[in-house]
Structure 1
Amino acid sequence: MLASEISTLYALAHELFYLGVDDSPIYSDHFTALNREVFHRANILFHHKPSTIDEEASLCLSLLMGYNATLYDDGDKQERIHEILERCWKILDYLPASLLKCQLLVAGYAEVFDRNLLDQAHAIINTWVGREWTDTERETVEYLKSLEENPYPHWEIAD
């Protein structure tokens, strides 16, 4: 059940994160409803503690994506993101080099811009050389590239 909820949050957050990227129109009612749904699901799943490291990694990734993609904030969104990052730091060393670990490293890098996370993500990406990438791998690399080209945390730009 939890895995299904995590997967749903990931899919909705992914949709919101990439809404309009393909030049399709963005309708305000769909955008608003999707923002509300992602934020609501993230808040519900935030308190869950999965029993496996992979499930915890998937949950942390989905939560970071969800909170990053949404416009809503009940006043404690940054504290929640900080707590999710703390959960990530506890499991990263136990995850094998994989797409999931790379995605989690990139999501963490998007929040704190720590060079160590960037280097670890690149080390995993370098193992993909010489073969065709999946769509998810390609998205991860493109997102990381956009972060590297614009290395300013949102709080520095907003201030």
Structure 2
Amino acid sequence: MVNFLLQENIDDLQKLSDRLLHISDENGYIYADDLSELHQAIHEKIIDLYSQRGKTPEQDATLCLAILMGYNVSMYANPEDEERKQAVLTRSLSLLDVLPPSLLKQQLSAVCHEMQELCEIN
């Protein structure tokens, strides 16, 4: 049951992040309240999932990918979030060593490299 709930929360975070990326596609308008509410929901979901671990390397990679995607679209940037983002990035890079070749591994690798580049720029 706990494993199912974790996967459901991972899926929710991925959907929220995707929705934020495509928010103007829905009707052409972006309302500040909707944008703020969506950012807050993403941030809360990241906080809820941060301390979680997947039962398998694949589920853990999916979890890390969702969290990194959430951070990627999030407007929140405080020192605590930056530390968490770096910890998830480090964890993700170690997972890349144990994951078999797959779409998940490619996606996680791409997000990790993007995040590393952003960290180097800042």
Match of 2:104 in 1: 100
Match of 1:27 in 2: 31
Tell whether 2:9 aligns with 1:5.
yes
Amino acid at match of 2:12: T
Contact conserved, 2:93 with 2:112, CA < 8 A, in 1? no
Alignment deviations for residues 22-75 of structure 1 (CA, whole Å, 9 cap, x no partner):
782211111110000000100110000111111101100000011111112343
Question: How far off is 1:96 after superposition?
Answer: 2.0
Bigger helix fraction: 2
Q: Pairwise CA RMSD of aligned residues?
A: 1.9
Aligned positions of 1:64-75 closer than 5 A = 64-75=68-79
Q: Structure 2 stretches of 5 or more lacking a match?
A: none
1:76 is paired with a residue of what secondary structure?
A: helix
Q: Which one has a bigger Cα radius of gyration?
A: 1
Shift of the 111–23 alpha-carbon distance from structure 1 to 2, 3 Å rule, reads farther
Tell whether 2:45 aligns with 1:41.
yes
Q: Structure 1 stretches of 5 or more lacking a match?
A: 114-152
Q: 1 or 2 for the larger relative contact order (CA 8 Å, sep ≥6)?
A: 2
- Aligned pair count reads 118
Off by >2 Å, runs of 4+ in structure 1: 17-24, 153-156
How far apart are the structure 2 equivalents of 1:97 and 1:71? 32
TM-score with structure 1 setting the length: 0.67
TM-score with structure 2 setting the length: 0.86
